[in-house]
Chains A and B, each alone.
Chain A
């Protein structure tokens, strides 16, 4: 029989107790409340609550805009990470610091300013609206602001990987006759792929749950520009707690799937590691 391991360092019971107490109060209990409340509905009522036409439109919009924003951020994030790691130019350090701003800026502020920039009289809107580009109170507006909110994810996941790549794999490709373009697509992109996918998934997951910024820019028109989180709040404000809870559960399930996917990706991306 394995002897029971004695804990030499102090504080096991104290930290275990405190951590579990906080996690229970902050996490487990609220989660239980949500799940029990939603399941108290009964299957038929639950489906009736979460599968209305308005809710379906909201899910589609939420997923679609988050996906589009994540795609944009993946491309733009790769560009930014590449330029910040590989090239030297004046103002590089400032650019690097700026990347963190979307994380630090309150989402409400982001929403406020993005709606203001793209309306007809806004700094961008005055040029873009006449061209037919509606960057405020539209689905495009949601994509734009979500792209802003999630910008740091891809940059910050790709940057360290790009920094850690050894120059010699690119030299090896070059000496084997690959052009710079071939090296980029065949050697660099596959090496960055796990980081790119993780960054994409993080951006996407963030978009699914985002509320503060979207509520400012979208106009929140049911069936058109109403995302799932906004729908939860408007149900709540109608005191339709059961319905709000049911839709919230769907959102939560979506978050869990994404969290599991991200963890799975991280595990998967380690498969080449020595």
Chain B
């Protein structure tokens, strides 16, 4: 003879005390205004200027100019490589840092975040000092006829450097929260390392991993400072899309510059949209 349980009571309990309606409206108005001025108008501005000469001219700016077309292809080549390398690194680092304890673990964990703190320009410079003609490995690389700086490998390295923490950073808290119990169970049931990874670990971290990939990819495609320093910005060879935006801007070819910029903006809008979708999806799946 239990009284009817009333679980929904807490759900309808009201929130904290709140402000008078006019204060709320004023604050909402101010916040929306800030977003409009800082974010919405700039995004509209990009598309307005990109399309100012019409749609035909817009596509001509993108496909008609071989250097621009090359930049688009180069970005679509470099970014996925950097993302894949970072996924491998992220999984390895997260596994190492959340499943084992060893001296220096805490230090290593904070060092992974370091690329976020380093100026992209400084990052690029460091790679030049290492792999450039006058760098540490310069003579050796020249002798073996390998080009890193002012070439695609340099772009990959620079992109990888600035995006290094993205995947690891998403995975570490997720794997920490899950804990090693399921994996220990898998091992005790006779699974080998790969079986454990594919059947237990990966399904558990897939959301965090996907999330990290999306963020990593967004950053990889848009990176400017580090890539700028290592690329030597040779049109048609080492110019990525963001670098192409700058070059066209310097050449006072604003419509073309904005056309490339609009493409990058589109990519970032997709990134944000995917992030939101993924968050909702995850919420729904977790709450089940």
Contact = CB atoms under 8 A, between A and B. Distances in A.
Q: Main SS of chain B's interface residues?
A: helix
A118 B183 CA distance: 56
A10 B187 contact: yes
Contacts of B115: 26-27
Given A15-B95, A34-B129, A101-B43, A212 B228 contact: yes
A107 B222 contact: yes
Interface residues of A, number: 88
A219 to B, nearest CB: 13
Interface of A: 7-12, 14-16, 18-19, 22-23, 26-27, 29-31, 33-34, 37, 76, 79-80, 82-84, 86-87, 89, 91, 93, 95, 97-110, 112-114, 116-117, 122-124, 147-148, 151, 165, 167, 170-171, 174, 180, 183, 205, 208-212, 215-216, 229, 232-233, 236, 241, 244-245, 248, 251-252, 255-256, 258-259, 263
Interface of B: 14-19, 24, 27-28, 30-32, 34-35, 37-43, 45-46, 49, 88-89, 92-93, 95-96, 99-100, 102, 108, 110-115, 117-123, 125-130, 134-136, 157, 160-161, 164, 180, 183-184, 187, 192-193, 196-197, 215, 218, 221-225, 228-229, 241-243, 245-246, 249, 254, 257-258, 261, 264-265, 268-269, 271-273, 275-276
B129 A236 contact: no
7 contacts: A9-B187, A11-B193, A16-B100, A76-B38, A112-B245, A211-B225, A212-B225
Given A11-B99, A106-B264, A263-B110, 18 more contacts: A22-B93, A27-B111, A79-B31, A83-B30, A87-B24, A89-B28, A99-B35, A108-B246, A109-B261, A113-B46, A165-B16, A167-B14, A167-B17, A180-B19, A209-B120, A211-B121, A229-B119, A251-B119
A249 to B, nearest CB: 8
Given A30-B126, A109-B261, A9 B99 contact: yes
